[in-house]
Amino acid sequence: MSVTDYSVLTKKRPEKSLILKLKSHAGRDRTGQISVRHQGGGEKKQYRIISNLNEIMDTSAIIESIEYDPYRSSFIALVKFDGKIKKYILAWEGAKVKDEIISADKTEIKIGNRLKLKNIPNGIRIFDIEIKPTQGGKMVRSAGAFATIVAKEEKFVNLKMPSDEIRKINAECFASVGQVSNITHSAQRIGKAGRKRHMGIRPSVRGKAMHPAAHPHGGGEGNNPIGLKYPKTPWGKHALGVRTRKKNKYSKSMIISRRKK
């Protein structure tokens, strides 16, 4: 039994002008080789085009419905502005039909409103944050996620991310006030294998159940440990506890404090 509160959702067909049909590739790249394992099958689904309120600057928008999106963990909201134009945006916790929101450089600090980071007080929960001005929201978009402003400098603000990483972001970037919807997503129980197959996820086999030529963990008689100093991928690389971020990445100078493992 899922603990997600689906009572907020409006049973409504997706807007035809705001959906795309994406072809399923079952984890295969353009050469036809499987590059991502354990993918395939799954229910057909339509992709909703998600916008952000930067496209609706200085104009109020009204929520028409709150809907489920099969491509993301959070819910989405259908908003209408100028009386007829409709857009999908990420829904926030506490969003309700007929709520009115606005996007502007500086506006009221109200849940759902979108404004520049330099005009948001410290300690306020924010989500859907831009990395570069006018680029659109890129960070803190998954279910239940939020970041907070911990300090402000001349041109930058220091954000505490959901991972506890503290990093600098340009103060001219936009962010939405509040927390992403569907905060109970992490507590969902899949319940049965069939639901996983509907999600397009195929079964995986433990490495230690394979033979030695198929996986570094394979081989041995009966039930044995992996017999290695650390877990490995099928290709012999570290599987757990290894930092994957590039050491000389261009944005390294923007990170004040790394996330905690």
Whether the predicted pLDDT of 5 surpasses 70: no
For residue 67, give the nearest of 11, 143, 15 by alpha carbon: 11
Which CATH topology does 6-184 take? OB fold (Dihydrolipoamide Acetyltransferase, E2P) (2.40.50)
Q: Measured between alpha carbons, how far is residue 256 from residues 158, 173, 228 in Å?
A: 8, 18, 35
Confidence of residue 13 (pLDDT cuts 50, 70, 90): confident
Phi first, then psi: what are they for 48, rounded to 5°?
-85, 130
Adjacency order of strands within the sheet including 100-101: 85-90, 76-81, 61-67, 100-101
List Cβ neighbours of 145 (8 Å cut-off, separation of 6 or more): 127, 162, 179, 180
* Residue 131: predicted pLDDT: 92
CA dihedral angle for residue 200, residue 184, residue 80, residue 117, rounded to 10 degrees: -110
Tens-place pLDDT, residues 83-108: 788 899 999 998 999 989 998 888 88
Tens-place pLDDT, residues 164-178: 999 999 999 999 999
CA distance 139 to 186: 18
CA distance 239 to 234: 9
Whether the predicted pLDDT of 4 surpasses 70: no
Is the Cβ–Cβ distance between 117 and 171 less than 8 Å?
Answer: yes
* Residue 32: predicted pLDDT: 94
Whether the predicted pLDDT of 2 surpasses 60: no
CA distance 4 to 35: 33
* Residue 60: predicted pLDDT: 83
The full DSSP string for 139-178 is ES-STT--EEEEEE-SSEEEEE-TTS-EEEEETT-EEEES
Mean of per-residue pLDDT scores for the chain: 89
* Residue 16: predicted pLDDT: 79
Which CATH topology does 207-261 take? Ribosomal protein L2; domain 3 (4.10.950)
Lowest mean pLDDT among 4-18, 38-52, 136-150, 237-251: 4-18
Tell me what the mean pLDDT of segment 16-26 comes to: 88
Which tokens in the block code for residue 194? 């069939």
More reliable by pLDDT, 181 or 1 = 181
For residue 259, give the nearest of 144, 123, 167 by alpha carbon: 167
Question: Do 6-184 and 207-261 fold alike per CATH?
Answer: no
Tell me what the mean pLDDT of segment 246-255 comes to: 88
Which tokens in the block code for residue 221? 């008689």
Tell me what the mean pLDDT of segment 181-188 comes to: 92
Is the Cβ–Cβ distance between 226 and 220 less than 8 Å?
Answer: no
Taking phi over 0 as left and psi of -120 to 50 as alpha, with beta for the rest, 204 belongs to beta
Q: Provide the residue ranges of all domains of the chain, joining segments of one domain with +.
A: 6-184, 207-261
